[in-house]
């Protein structure tokens, strides 16, 4: 994260980014938006002290099924953790309800993954959730339409690249930072000179699907 400071990058909140994207807010370059995809709030805990030390904004995308269901100590803790993240000034986005490939679902299933998930998060936070992140980055015209009609302002893929003002707000690219790069490698990511090869990104996507499937099967058997 120190590289962002050294390079003079502006770290935008999701609100600032959205205003710039639709032309309402000028931008001082270079600028970045920090996004973190995960399942439950505890997966974000390790990065919070780092963000706080630099006073950086960030957006977190949890999966709502880990925040709903029968009441219990773990559920209460997760909901409290999510509320604390929001109260600390971080943006909470939506990463669907059960982290499935949305392009392969029926309309009823898709609405649950998008609309119902948004409602769960908004009920917990007591405020509007405006950003969406497609599981595995998978989306098509039907999925994007449902996300837009659900009331999200922006939605992110994992397609490699930066964002320009006027880009489709429901098909936004990102630069996935895989593993734990050192300052030098992280700086190259930010410069745009380094693009992860298609084969590495494909491996990452397949690995994520396998790990997700194994996790859900383990929970079903528990």
Note the pLDDT tens digit of each residue in 2-43. Answer: 888 887 889 999 999 999 998 888 888 889 999 999 888 898
Q: What is the 3-state secondary structure (H, E, C) of 111-129?
A: HHHHHHHHHHHHHHHCCCC
The overall longest dimension of the chain from CA atoms, in Å, is 52
> CA 111, CA 93: separation in Å to the nearest integer?
17
Identify which of 40, 121, 31, 118 has the alpha carbon closest to the alpha carbon of residue 75: 40
**φ, ψ for residue 72, nearest 5 deg:** -170, 170
- Find out whether the peptide bond into 92 is cis, omega within 30 degrees of 0: no
* Torsion angle of C-alpha atoms 173, 178, 188, 44, degrees rounded to 10: 80
Confidence of residue 199 (pLDDT cuts 50, 70, 90): very low
Identify which of 78, 14, 93, 90 has the alpha carbon closest to the alpha carbon of residue 52: 90
DSSP state for residue 70 in the 8-state scheme: S
**φ, ψ for residue 8, nearest 5 deg:** 70, 30
DSSP state for residue 138 in the 8-state scheme: -
> Of all helices (H) and strands (E), which one includes residue 173?
strand 172-174
| pLDDT tens for each residue of 60-112 | 999 999 999 876 889 999 999 999 999 999 999 999 999 999 999 999 999 99
- For 2-221, CATH gives 3.20.20.370
Which residues have a Cβ under 8 Å from the Cβ of 34 and sit 6 or more positions away? 11, 51, 56, 57, 58, 59
> CA 186, CA 195: separation in Å to the nearest integer?
12
| pLDDT tens for each residue of 139-193 | 999 999 999 999 999 999 988 888 988 899 999 998 877 666 677 767 766 665 5
């Amino acid at each position: 994260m120190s590289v962002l400071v050294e390079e003079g990058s502006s770290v935008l909140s999701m609100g600032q980014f959205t205003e710039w994207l639709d032309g309402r807010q000028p931008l001082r370059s270079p600028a970045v938006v920090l996004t973190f995809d995960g399942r439950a709030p505890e997966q974000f805990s390790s990065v919070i002290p780092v963000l706080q030390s630099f006073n950086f904004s960030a957006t977190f995308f949890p999966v709502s099924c880990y925040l709903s269901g029968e009441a219990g100590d773990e559920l209460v803790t997760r909901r409290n953790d999510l509320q604390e993240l929001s109260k600390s000034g971080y943006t909470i986005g939506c990463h669907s309800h059960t982290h499935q490939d949305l392009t392969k679902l029926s309309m009823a299933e898709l609405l649950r993954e998008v609309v119902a998930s948004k409602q769960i998060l908004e009920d917990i936070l007591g405020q509007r959730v405006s950003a969406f992140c497609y599981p595995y980055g998978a989306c098509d015209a039907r999925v994007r339409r449902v996300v837009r009609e659900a009331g999200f302002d922006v939605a992110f893929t994992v397609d490699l690249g930066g964002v320009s003002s006027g880009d489709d707000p429901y098909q936004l690219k990102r630069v996935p930072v895989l593993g734990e790069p050192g300052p030098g490698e992280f700086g190259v990511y930010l410069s745009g000179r380094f693009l992860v090869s298609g084969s590495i990104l494909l491996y990452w996507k397949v690995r994520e699907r396998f790990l997700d499937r194994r996790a859900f099967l383990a929970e079903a058997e528990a």
